[in-house]
Structure 1
Amino acid sequence: MSHLPGLDLTRLAGWLAAERPGQAGATLSARLIAGGRSNLTYEIGDGERAWVLRRPPLGHVLATAHDVAREYRVMAALEGTGVPVPATYALCTDDSVIGAPFYLMEKVDGTPFRSAAELAPLGPERVRRISLRLVDTLVALHDVDPAEVGLADFGRAEGFLDRQVRRWSAQLAASRTRDLPRAGQLHSLLASNIPAQSAPGIVHGDYRLDNVLVDSTDHPAAVIDWEMATLGDPLTDLALLIAYQKLSRLPGGDLVTDAASAPGHLTEDEVRSRYRARSGRDPAHFGFHLGLACYKLAAIVEGIHYRHLRGQTVGTGFDGIGALTGPLLEIGLAALKEDR
């Protein structure tokens, strides 16, 4: 058995044999699917079957931002709803197995389109269909009644926006390696302009195209990467989706995702209109939500930059990611000022 950063296959095989007797071979192999930007994701196989394993990233993180038990719980709860999710198999909260909590889930066939270059060969018509369905799936998620799927206690919706401002301020402070004066300005504007919240619902927390596996018929096969999911104001998901569209046009935006810049993708206004028409929710005070989304993205990007400087990211493509923090803060400030 080989060893990958953050994954001890020998210990994992022993745990799997005890947890799911007879359902996995004694010899496992693994490959890293995604690393560094969020929870680490591996494909695990025994020669006949394959699963996906998720664990927190290595090094400096806020524990609440990478709670795999919460991620496991929300996906298990959404099975059987109109929201496509992978089947969940087993959760391990014992750090002694691989050094951190982790879970196993179904390996779903589908493509997480991260770049415009990946989407472009499909042509504008298919790209448009994919982006329409991306919005419709978000509406389906926000239509789910948390209590009906056992998630009534999954978060505290009251005061959600205020807590989000404080949470991402703390994340930025914990990851800061340089002076970011615009961060303080944006935080002050957010903290003093918190609007009334829309009707609460399940919030994905990082909804974008490459967190959705798209099947060969251009339909969403599974929504993945639920590590930031909670109960709160669903408009924060819509705003973050649009913030990612803005990021896709920044120099270096492809280090995160530039899929929204592909020909045929819905524009920002079309995304908002489609969401409003299908959900019935009115994105009032959207400048605040967009400002908060950019502040959150800036904190996430700065956290990745922090870990990269310390050699704690797994994978490649992080050298220039810190250059995105400043422009994201500027976009957030502009959005809030337009909202006033």
Structure 2
Amino acid sequence: MSQTITFEGSGPVRAGHELPVERLTAWLQQQAPDVRGPFDIRQFNGGQSNPTYRLDTPGKSYVLRRKPGGPVLKGAHAVEREHRVISALHAAGFPVPAPLALCEDEAVIGSTFMVMEMVEGRIFWSPTLPDLTPDQRAAHFDALNATIARLHSLDIQALGLGDYGRPGAFFARQIQRWSRQYQEDDLAGRDPDMDRLVAWLPENMPEDDGAACVVHGDFRADNLIFAPDSAEVRAVLDWELSTLGHPMGDFTYHLMMYRLPPSMIGGFAGADLKALGIPSEADYLAAYCERVDRAPPTADELRFYMAFNMFRLAAIFHGIMGRIARGTAASAHAQTMADNLPALAALAWAQTETTS
């Protein structure tokens, strides 16, 4: 299934995701008077976790992002955290949509939601950035690299985000979090490779050097909006998984694109990188390390980072399986993501068996 066809654009609001337009409009008139209706509301096809809508008015377009209705796992779907982090980043000049309003009163539409400006531009749903020349593709990959390096170089205290997470012990906390979510979601079942990773990862963590920055948590090309005709990054989207964490953990999640197969979102393993104008994994990693003035990871460290990040992504897919079982899956294509879980868990385990 083409990732572009699957996730691009918006369509009619899906059954079970309808918005109470009168209550929403009344709340916005009080809390965000610049956001004026009447609204033509459509639902974005992408977004595996939090339902996301396009609100079109005669003069301007906006984006509404909400927690799904019904029961959710503790700590998941943190729309209020998304609002906080993009507010801080927007004030610092980092490319994110301008936040306009946050509503934590579930009586308005049934769950917490935020409204932000609609950023126009180009989203590449395929990780190989089709329709570009090799030179253009190289420039866009360099912009991806520069943007995540810039994020990791921001001062968390100057941003006002010193308490956005707990600095230090990032990998231990993340492994504990995702292991817990995986093990507690009984409706999604179990996977033998996931069980092996739950045991392996805590025993193989590299020494934590205490580095702390804002980490995006899901940095991929399809979570960025580029200018229509250049490699300028206009906005980084989808901050639900952001926190304070280790920069290398966040960057190597992004680096997974080199090792994930094309059948999984964000992957292009096996592609002819030279012909496409895409830098090698080693060169892309080296460029990031130079930008953030950091020594490249050792082979053993990189093996752990890749296994950890694939496990984490597999745990997210496992959560999607649980949401399907509970009837709260946000995306029309959630089943496709859930179906990838066994292959992704196996690939994650394979990272642990690579030679150093």
Which residue identity lines up with residue 273 of structure 1 in the other structure?
Answer: A
For the pair 1:17 / 2:29, whether they are aligned, the reply is: yes
Taking the aligned partners of 2:354 and 2:332, their CA distance within structure 1 comes to 37
Once the two structures are superposed, the pairs formed by residues 212-223 of structure 1 within 5 Å of their partners are 212-216=224-228, 217-223=230-236
Taking the aligned partners of 1:333 and 1:283, their CA distance within structure 2 comes to 23
Greater CA drift, 324-333 or 210-219 = 324-333
| Aligned partner of 2:206 among 182, 189, 195 | 195
After TM superposition, give the deviation of residue 58 of structure 1 in Å.
4.1
After TM superposition, give the deviation of residue 34 of structure 1 in Å.
3.9
Contact 1:60 1:307 in 2 (8 A): no
| 1:208 corresponding residue in structure 2 | 220
| 2:254 corresponding residue in structure 1 | 241
After TM superposition, give the deviation of residue 35 of structure 1 in Å.
5.0
Which residue identity lines up with residue 251 of structure 2 in the other structure?
Answer: L
TM-score by length of 1: 0.90
After TM superposition, give the deviation of residue 82 of structure 1 in Å.
5.4
Q: Once superposed, what is the RMSD of the aligned Cα atoms? A: 2.3
For the pair 1:120 / 2:130, whether they are aligned, the reply is: yes
Q: Secondary structure at the match of 1:98?
A: coil
TM-score by length of 2: 0.86
Contact 2:214 2:244 in 1 (8 A): yes
Q: Show CA shifts across 1:193-214 (max 9, x none).
A: 2222241111111111111111
Taking the aligned partners of 1:311 and 1:89, their CA distance within structure 2 comes to 30
Q: Show CA shifts across 1:204-227 (max 9, x none).
A: 111111111111212110111111
After TM superposition, give the deviation of residue 38 of structure 1 in Å.
2.3
Taking the aligned partners of 1:331 and 1:220, their CA distance within structure 2 comes to 31
After TM superposition, give the deviation of residue 237 of structure 1 in Å.
1.2
Q: Secondary structure at the match of 1:77?
A: helix
After TM superposition, give the deviation of residue 335 of structure 1 in Å.
2.4
| 2:122 corresponding residue in structure 1 | 111
| 1:72 corresponding residue in structure 2 | 83
Once the two structures are superposed, the pairs formed by residues 136-175 of structure 1 within 5 Å of their partners are 136-175=146-185
Q: Secondary structure at the match of 1:64?
A: coil
| 1:8 corresponding residue in structure 2 | 20
Q: Show CA shifts across 1:84-104 (max 9, x none).
A: 111111111111111111111
After TM superposition, give the deviation of residue 154 of structure 1 in Å.
0.8
| 1:257 corresponding residue in structure 2 | 266
Contact 1:190 1:288 in 2 (8 A): yes
After TM superposition, give the deviation of residue 147 of structure 1 in Å.
0.1
Taking the aligned partners of 2:259 and 2:69, their CA distance within structure 1 comes to 29
Give unpaired runs (5+ residues) of structure 1: none
Which residue identity lines up with residue 257 of structure 1 in the other structure?
Answer: G
Contact 2:63 2:118 in 1 (8 A): yes
Give unpaired runs (5+ residues) of structure 2: 1-11
Q: Show CA shifts across 1:105-127 (max 9, x none).
A: 1111122211157x221222211
Taking the aligned partners of 1:141 and 1:92, their CA distance within structure 2 comes to 27
Taking the aligned partners of 1:311 and 1:60, their CA distance within structure 2 comes to 10
